[in-house]
Structure 1
Amino acid sequence: MRREALVNNVPDDIPRDQWACFVNYRLKPSTVELCMKNKENRNKQIIPHTCGSKSNSRRRHEMHLKTGKKPSRGMMYIETHKRKDGSFVNNEALTIVEQIELNMTQSNTQFECPLMMLLVKFWGLNTLGEFIAWAWEQRLQIPLGM
């Protein structure tokens, strides 16, 4: 659609001047380029999460109140890759969760789960440095505090 047609197609609950600014912003070449880049990055994500907009600190606090224990990184990973019905988002997430649970049972505590090393092993790499280099090449956004 042309700009004028988009500007004239104002939703009922939005003021016309705000709609015009929004349309102008969305049609700017820099915004279109950013949207395309974000689309490409979303397609690279192979293990989705179920976090929604709730922050990890809020989720961790809620888990702490529910269980009375401070949740580990492994428990957070399990919680954020499970659907409401209890199933996991995909087979890759299930495989990682199985490795996390195995590690947690072997260490006899839920607080000793080196999640990043499990991910390194999952991807078939030898060291954390190799994993970070591989993630950088793939342009994956991996929180280094894991």
Structure 2
Amino acid sequence: MGLILPDFHPFHSSVTEMSYNQKDQSWEISIRLFQDDLEQSVSAAIGKKYRMVPGDEASEKELDTYLRKHFRFHAGKQTSTPYRWLGTEQQQDAIWVYLEIPTTSDLAGSYLENSIFLEVFEDQTNLVQWAPAGQKKSYLFRKSQEIQQLSR
């Protein structure tokens, strides 16, 4: 009789899509996170058990606080998180986080930090797909490559 192990996914990753909404003049950002990784990482950050419940104000506030430390923009020595929190949505084993940055800037030249879950998972990778002027560009963030400059 074999040992029965829980069904863990074999890799740790997030996917972020950033696209510009010309009509609303804002960058729309969606981040896909595995729920178990999210709960483990936020629990480690806050020092107590965390459970993600989409739509729950306290749960979303904890996640927003976590993301503002791990998903942010750098301009020179200044760090900022100029986005607005729009909410979350559950989809099977993933949580989608929705953010927006109201601006007419195309963000080219900005430095983006994406260190989501890197403090917990050695093999964590964070893919960002950015579409300036309709052209998709992809960036892969990992340990030792947490900050990258967005370019056209």
The structure whose residues are more often strand, as a share, is: 2
TM-score using structure 1 length: 0.28
* Higher RCO, 1 vs 2 (CA within 8 Å, ≥6 residues apart): 2
TM-score by length of 2: 0.28
1 or 2, which has the higher helix percentage? 1
